[in-house]
Amino acid sequence: MPFNTYRPELMGSATLDKPGPFVCGSWTSLTLTYTAGHFGIDDLGGIKVSIRSASDQTPPQFDDPNAPGYTTIAASNGAKLKYWYRKNSNIRPWGNTLYIQCLSFLAEGDTITVTMGDTSQGSPGIRMQTFVEHAYQYRVHVDAFSTYDYAVLPDDQQPKLQLIPGPAAVHRAVLPSLRKSSDTFGLGLKAEDRWGNPTPDDKGTYFLRASRPVQGLPDSVDMSASNGGALRLDGLKVASPGDLFVEMINDAGEVVAKSNTLRSSEETPFRHFWSDMHGQSGETIGTNTARQYFEFGRDKAFIDICGHQGNDFQITDTFWQELNELTAELNDPGHYLTIPGYEWSGNTSVGGDHNVWYRSEGRPIYRAQRSLVMDASTDENTCIDAHELFGRLKDEDALIVAHVGGRYADVSFAHDANLEPSVEVHSSWGTFDWIFEDAYQAGYRVGIVAASDGHKGRIGASYPGSGKFGSLGGLTCHLMPELERDDLFEAFRHRRHYATTGCRPYIDVRIEGLKAGRRRLHSGGTEAVETAVIGDILTCSNSEVTLDIDISAHAGIERIEVKDGLDVLAHIRTDLDKRQSGNRVRVQCEGAEYRGRSRRVDWDVSLKLDGVEPRGTQAVNFWNADCEVVTESNTINWSYVTTGGAHAVDIWLDDASKGKIAFISNVTDFEIELAALGSEDLLQECGGLGKAVRVTRLPDDSMPRSLTEQIFVPLTPETERCLFIRVVFEDGHIAWTSPIYVTATKRSGLGPTP
């Protein structure tokens, strides 16, 4: 450990006045008492009390006794104390820290009492962390000798408590996206509390209604039989090709959950499998154990593929071995894949964050640096920049994906097409179309993936809570024949995947009728093809191609951008006629301040309506359950964040053809006449990185969930087209397909890949 280890058993102890457990997000008051050990604490020494950086517990404050988080601190011997609180001011993962300095000494047995959320003068207390943690700890460090060199109290002297889910607030139903008609499949059902934690609190019985006959589907389910709030019904089957969704219905006849679409196909070379291959557990900067992390993805998020990407500078050799043993144990081909890997966490100036996965266990971990690895590791496997990383991995059976987290990847710094097939455009950190654009401008042919980088122990269903993360974690859909590691690596290297911000739509983009089509193979050489699918790099002799788009989704399709690299070839907006007469207006805040850690934009908005009356509102992409839209007469107020993506408020008006809206905020102010709002967006740009306000007219009712479309694309000889789609759904989710790279040429063969 990177702390003083001198005689921790003589440094004292700490206790809490309440043993818990506590419901996630509940309000309480907690008293932590530190009792000085044999050495006491010298003048100007002290203690610090830390919680994990991922935690979103109410931070302490000392100035307003009526406000949340009011904290009082006193020493039993009357010693004067100086105290302050700072985020990210201690060695990770214990970043959020309360510092208490003793201005005169403490002797053995003297105490410091910290009342967090002191309610005696009107404070509501502190709100506990919003996500489940089985051993939530207030880690106490002691500077007994006034050297500013803190020792950590022994584990059995550290105050801990348990955080448990709250009452059921939301239900989820999850199906696969694409299976053969002959396949059996499973339906996942889940009850979640208001913060996204699966909860066993729901003991109700729910009816199941399928859009078409399903063999093996029961008429109802009893959630009291769930595994911590989640149920999986396996062995289901449909009799014929087509689309299926399933609804979960309560005793009052209300639909509490509607699944995504399952496409059953008689003939398909692929099935669709969903992954979240990027997150961390409590052994690094996340929450709970690595075993609990993998089990959550399998049993409660219903994903098919899972990776663990701890920061390399926090993974000891011992933990790396444990991770490899765990992925080998839990890997279950055909049911659930666990992939060994880590996050190479170089500073942006030397390449930035990159995820590394291996096909098999037992391979080396090549670290960017070893700042927090204090065991017997050596620098033998340190790669101090991304060039070295790619060089060391060139002969490994490995995959690399550039990531945007705290540090962002600079894809122009280093790249190897054989190792790095794709870039990550979305995670809990936000939405980052620009990283694909960077790769494209650098001349790379890359695919598009998404993941969560979840820190809250909920891999595959990574809600952001109320902290610094502003987005739901992403997912990637892989086009694979079978759920096997070999198939995953083959599909990944050919970019056969599409990414989402956490939803699970069925999407297919292809080009048929290729003339003299030749597809590049990752293993080298080419093969003849008549059809191109997501991720292909190919040549053909066509003068034009038809891009076939087929989508069947969980929610209405608001728009599709058909793109060629950086250019938009076509905008597809559904229900154009209904938009023109619709009385629903969407006001959307979007973008980021810049690429790095301080990208977050805090929006405080007041929307004033003049000459028109609001009939109702609905928040879109408001993932923090504390944030609400408040309507007072003709004024609509909200406060929320964006981190590269968007949040919005839909407003149903009595007549959207008249009146005006005044948008007033801490970011920008403007007015629009509603009569000027047609089928095109009105965009108010605000600087930053895509920071803007977008106003859109939408139909009164939900938009279509399914769409098929054909886009004709002319080809110019020797000019490569980079064809993909970006889909925006009515509920705010986004999906991106990996591009099809197609070049018209009369020559045989292909040139080298950049």
Domain boundaries, the chain: 8-164, 170-266, 272-502, 504-574+710-734+745-754, 586-698
How many CB atoms are located within 10 Å of the residue 709 CB? 15
Q: Which two tokens stand for residue 645?
A: 């993506």
Answer yes or no: is pLDDT of 87 > 80.
yes
Structural fold of domain 170-266:
Immunoglobulin-like (2.60.40)
Lowest mean pLDDT among 376-380, 483-487, 504-508: 376-380
Residue 636: the pLDDT is: 98
8 Å CB contact between 357 and 307: yes
Distance CA 307, CA 278 (A): 6
Task: Give yes or no for a contact between 132 and 25, defined as CB atoms under 8 angstroms apart.
Answer: no
Position 19 scores a pLDDT of: 86
- Distance, in Å, from the CA atom of 137 to the CA atom of 134, rounded to the nearest integer, reads 9
Question: Do 586-698 and 272-502 have the same topology in CATH?
Answer: no
**Is the pLDDT score of 366 beyond 60?**
yes
CA distance 46 to 680: 61
Decide yes or no: CATH 3.10.180 for domain 586-698.
Answer: no
Is the model's pLDDT at 571 over the cut of 70?
yes
Under 8 Å between Cβ of 284 and 311: yes
Angle between helical axes of 317-330 and 290-299 (0-180°, round to 10): 30
Cα–Cα distance for residue pair 424/421, rounded to 1 Å:
10
Task: Assess whether pLDDT exceeds 50 at residue 43.
Answer: yes
Mean pLDDT of the chain: 95
pLDDT tens digits for range 186-230? 999 999 999 999 999 999 999 999 999 999 999 999 999 999 999
Q: Is the pLDDT of residue 749 over 60?
A: no
pLDDT tens digit sequence for 674-693:
999 987 899 999 999 999 99
Residue 377's pLDDT band (cuts 50, 70, 90): low
**According to the model, what pLDDT value does residue 2 have?**
60
pLDDT at 185: 98
Query: Which CATH architecture is the domain 272-502 placed in?
Result: Alpha-Beta Barrel (3.20)
Of the pLDDT bands very low, low, confident and very high (cuts 50, 70, 90), residue 754 is: very low
Once rounded to an integer, what is the mean pLDDT over residues 127-150? 96
Whole-number pLDDT of residue 747: 52
CA distances from 48 to 109, 125, 208, 313, 656 (A): 18, 21, 52, 24, 56
Are 737 and 564 in contact by the 8 Å Cβ rule? The answer is: no
What's the pLDDT at 753?
A: 43
Model confidence over 400-410: pLDDT tens digits? 999 998 899 99
Cis peptide before 739 (omega within 30 of 0): no
The pLDDT tens digits for 241-296 are 999 999 999 999 999 999 999 999 998 999 999 999 999 999 999 999 999 999 99
Identity at 730, one-letter amino acid code: E
Q: What is the pLDDT of residue 752?
A: 43
Domain 8-164 -> CATH class: mainly beta
Contacts of 11 (CB under 8 A, 6+ apart): 37, 39, 142, 144, 151, 153
538 bridge partner residues: 519, 742
What confidence score (pLDDT) does residue 86 get? 95
**CA distances (Å), origin 392, targets 384, 424, 632:** 11, 22, 61
Q: Is 0.85 surpassed by the pTM of this model?
A: yes
